Amino acid sequence: MISSLSEARQKAYLESRERVTATAEKLIKTRQDVPESVNVADLADHIDYMVKLIGIDHVGISSDFDGGGGIEGWSDASETFNVTLELVRRGYSEEEIGKLWGGNLLRVLDEVQKVSEEWPTS
């Protein structure tokens, strides 16, 4: 994580990041082999696939916006609603969306905590 770097290294990272990003943006405009952009609907397609494959109780959504997410319509935390809206459009219930946005993770953490309390200490 960038916060673990010294100030000099953080500065170098940020300067390099801007240069690399600018170079990439130029290449995207000129190259023919650049894949199409990914958007919220594509993300929801993957969520649908995982829910169908392993069930709603085993899928979760998370994000890390330390440098951009690369998903059109969900590039930062202010656009998180767009993911929820797409799930609603696809027919997910409020309960199911709650599971995806953290309910499943919290349930698993509670189960781990319970097991850890029953685990022998010696």
- pLDDT for 2-53, tens place per residue? 678 788 888 888 888 888 888 888 888 888 888 888 999 999 999 999 999 9
Q: What is the mean pLDDT of the chain?
A: 89
User: Half-sphere exposure of 69 toward its Cβ, with a 13 Å CA cutoff?
Assistant: 20
73 Cβ contact list (under 8 Å, min separation 6): 39, 40, 79, 82, 83
Residues 47-77: pLDDT tens digits? 999 999 999 999 999 887 665 667 899 988 8
Predicted pLDDT of residue 49 = 98
This model's pTM is above 0.75: no
